[in-house]
């Protein structure tokens, strides 16, 4: 999610957040907060290394959510297709961008899925670019 606004029509993430409006929680991190230890493969993955390196308050936010969900105290954001727990509703930006999971890092800004999510949310194409069907 690196493109910035340009006059040349490049898709920008600024003020968008469409890709984050339906994921509930940072994708892929839940397995690190389930009962039982993650496998060695999971621990050594990019996301596993990232979870271990997160500041304690960021890790605690995820741990608290997953524990409350397991106790039935909060809705399962994954099943309700709610905005990501980390999405700031005012800025439509990730509150913990540096700690986002690999799936978010790999998401193709301006790709088919990005433009589809934007279209679903009524966020138009960049200047000079027609809506793709």
Q: What is the pLDDT along the chain (133 residues), one digit of tens a residue?
A: 444 334 456 788 888 999 999 888 898 898 898 878 788 999 999 999 999 999 999 999 999 998 998 898 988 777 767 899 999 999 999 999 999 999 999 999 999 999 999 999 888 765 555 544 4
Domain count, the chain: 1
Structural domain boundaries, residue 56: 18-120
Q: Which pLDDT value is given to residue 33?
A: 87
Kindly state whether residue 6 falls inside one of the protein's structural domains: no
Q: H or E element: which one contains 102?
A: helix 102-106
Kindly state whether residue 130 falls inside one of the protein's structural domains: no
Kindly state whether residue 13 falls inside one of the protein's structural domains: no
Kindly state whether residue 94 falls inside one of the protein's structural domains: yes
Kindly state whether residue 70 falls inside one of the protein's structural domains: yes
Assigned token pair, 115: 């433009």
Kindly state whether residue 129 falls inside one of the protein's structural domains: no
Kindly state whether residue 63 falls inside one of the protein's structural domains: yes
CA distance 15 to 87: 11
CA dihedral 62, 63, 65, 69 (to 10 degrees): 140
Report whether 85 contacts 65 (CB < 8 A). yes
Kindly state whether residue 89 falls inside one of the protein's structural domains: yes
């Amino acid at each position: 999610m690196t493109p910035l606004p340009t006059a040349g029509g490049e898709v920008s993430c600024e003020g968008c957040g469409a890709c984050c409006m339906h994921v509930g929680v940072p994708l892929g991190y839940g397995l690190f907060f389930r009962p039982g230890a993650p496998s060695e493969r999971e621990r050594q993955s990019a996301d596993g290394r990232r979870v271990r390196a997160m500041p304690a308050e960021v890790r605690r936010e995820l741990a608290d959510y997953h524990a409350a969900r397991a106790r039935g105290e909060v809705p399962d954001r994954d099943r309700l297709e709610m905005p990501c727990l980390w999405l700031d509703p005012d800025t439509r930006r990730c509150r913990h961008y540096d700690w986002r999971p690999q799936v978010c890092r790999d998401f193709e800004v301006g790709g088919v899925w990005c433009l589809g999510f934007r279209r679903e949310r009524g966020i138009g194409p960049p200047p000079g670019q027609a809506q793709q069907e």
